[in-house]
Amino acid sequence: VAVPTVGGDGSPVLALDIGGTKLAAGVVDSAGAVHSFHAAPSEPERGPDDGLERLFELGRRATADAGLALGAVGIGCGGPLNTERGVLLAPLHLPGWRDVPVVQLAIEAFGRPAALENDATAAAAGEHRFGAGAGTRHMVYLTLSTGVGGGVIVDGRLYRGAMGNGGELGHVTVDCNGRPCRGCGRRGCLEAYASGTSIGERAVEALAETDEQSILGALDRPTAADVAAAARDGDPLAVGLWDETVAALACGLTSIVNLFEPELVVLGGGVTRVGEQLLGPVRAEVEAHAVRPAGSPLAIVQSALGDHVGIVGAAAIVYDRVASGLMLAHG
């Protein structure tokens, strides 16, 4: 049985975020305010039964703390998912979790209707509804994190695509002859250059291929933040890596902008924490090269939701589904 209205009356949402390193739960109201928040390590190797039991316990604590009557439960998780059936198919960041009916289990645990969405898509909904994209009608959200993902807002609503998975924004090609992409098996996807993982891997590869001295050579496993910091210090190898990151992101983002013609691009995820060191040159490149009518505005800004994007996004999908006339699963 599916009912379209429950949770859409503005009742607060219990938001659950199933990340690879962190489980999080919080109560978020229809204005985007976070009334409670609890998090714990994911430890996905303990399996889905154990993981969801701990997640739902965080949810019960968050609900008790908030002291509000819940309208619905929103769940964000990395894919692949079946959002229609509310099932985690085989999330890449949760090895061994297969065919987990998380929506049904959440309905049983909390006695409220529930909805599942890809976490990057959910973050897009959160930024659109409560963050940097509030009030826009055509928005692209791109997150540069362990992987690269995102979501698109079309005419004010989350774009879900034919099968409910929305866009795979990390898998737009930058260089068809480029680096192998672990995520999809093609070559030269945006994710293969601009994810935190890829930036770190490219640093290791660059160090192995050069005799040049570099600050990064002293680090065991340089991260994207290390590369950015060394580039700020003028380290030539790091500057080269950073310039390549900027070029790849600008190229992939230009393709995305050419295809969707948004008015706003919001960049989120750990890699974007450096702010203008990344956004400045990317903005200049995309503005110079995207195919747009003269005078057509395009803003490229940083995520406004920061660390709460996971649960605010998971809540936003409930509000977005209701606004879009979609059903919430009701058990």
Establish if 144 lies at the interface with its own copies (CB under 8 A): no
DSSP 8-state assignment for residue 300: E
Smallest gap, in angstroms, from Cβ of residue 283 to its own copies? 16
Q: Is the dihedral of CA 272, 278, 282, 284 positive or negative?
A: positive
Quick note: the x/- pattern for its own copies over 292-331, rule CB under 8 A, is: xxx-x-----------------------------------
Nearer to its own copies, 29 or 261 (CB): 261
Establish if 291 lies at the interface with its own copies (CB under 8 A): yes
Q: Cβ contacts of residue 253 below 8 Å, gap of 6+?
A: 142, 190, 265, 282, 286, 300
Establish if 151 lies at the interface with its own copies (CB under 8 A): no
Quick note: the x/- pattern for its own copies over 178-217, rule CB under 8 A, is: -----xxxx-x-----------------------------
- Give which of 261, 38, 241, 54 is closest to 140, Cα–Cα: 261
Task: For residue 286, give the 3-state DSSP assignment.
Answer: helix
Stretch that binds its own copies, among 30-38, 45-53, 154-162, 212-220 (CB under 8 A): 154-162
- Give which of 117, 98, 99, 107 is closest to 163, Cα–Cα: 117
> Nearest-5° angle of CA 61, CA 62, CA 63?
90
Site residues (CB under 8 A) for its own copies, limited to 159-178: 159, 161-163, 165-169, 171-177
Establish if 154 lies at the interface with its own copies (CB under 8 A): yes
Establish if 147 lies at the interface with its own copies (CB under 8 A): no
Return d(Cα 42, Cα 21) in angstroms, integer: 5
Return d(Cα 159, Cα 167) in angstroms, integer: 8
Establish if 261 lies at the interface with its own copies (CB under 8 A): yes
Smallest gap, in angstroms, from Cβ of residue 155 to its own copies? 8
Contact 121, 151 (CB under 8 A): yes
The contact set with its own copies (CB under 8 A) reads 79-80, 82, 89, 137-138, 152, 154, 159, 161-163, 165-169, 171-177, 183-186, 188, 247-248, 251-252, 254-256, 258-263, 289, 291-294, 296
